[in-house]
Amino acid sequence: MPIVTRERDPIHVALDVHKDSITAGVLPPRAAAPVLQRIGPDDDAVRRLLRKLGGPSRIKVCYEAGPTGFELARSLRTSGVHCEVIAPSLIPRASGDKVKTDRRDAAELAMLFRAGLLTAVHILPPQIEAVRDLARARADVKDDLQRAQRRLLSFCLRHGHVYRDGSHWTGKHEQWLAAQRFEEQAAQRTFEHYRALVAVRQGELAAVCADLRGWLQVPEVGGPAHRLAAYHAVGYLGALSIVAEVGGSGTGSVPRGGSWRSPGWCPPERSSGGREHRMGITKTGNKVLRTQLIESAWHYRSRPVAGATLAERRSHVGPATVARAVSAHRRLSSRYRRLSVRGMNPNVVTTAVACELAGFVRAEMTAGD
| Between 117 and 274, the higher pLDDT residue | 117
Q: Is 115 in a helix, a strand, or coil?
A: helix
Cα–Cα distance for residue pair 283/304, rounded to 1 Å: 29
**Contacts for 334 with CB less than 8 Å, ≥ 6 apart:** 304
* pTM of this structure: 0.85
Confidence label for 14 from pLDDT (cuts 50, 70 and 90): very high
Q: Is 63 in a helix, a strand, or coil?
A: strand
| Between 124 and 260, the higher pLDDT residue | 124
pLDDT at 254 over 60: no
Mean pLDDT over residues 264-286, rounded? Answer: 78
Domain ranges of the chain: 11-115, 126-215, 219-269+283-365
End-to-end CA distance of the chain: 59
CATH architecture of the domain with residue range 11-115: 2-Layer Sandwich (3.30)
Answer yes or no: are the C-beta atoms of 135 and 244 closer than 8 Å: yes
Q: What does the pLDDT look like over 194-213, one tens digit per residue? A: 999 999 999 999 999 999 99
Cα–Cα distance for residue pair 307/257, rounded to 1 Å: 35
User: Where on the phi/psi map is residue 332: left (φ > 0), alpha (ψ -120 to 50), or beta?
Assistant: alpha
Cα–Cα distance for residue pair 272/259, rounded to 1 Å: 30
Cα–Cα distance for residue pair 188/159, rounded to 1 Å: 11
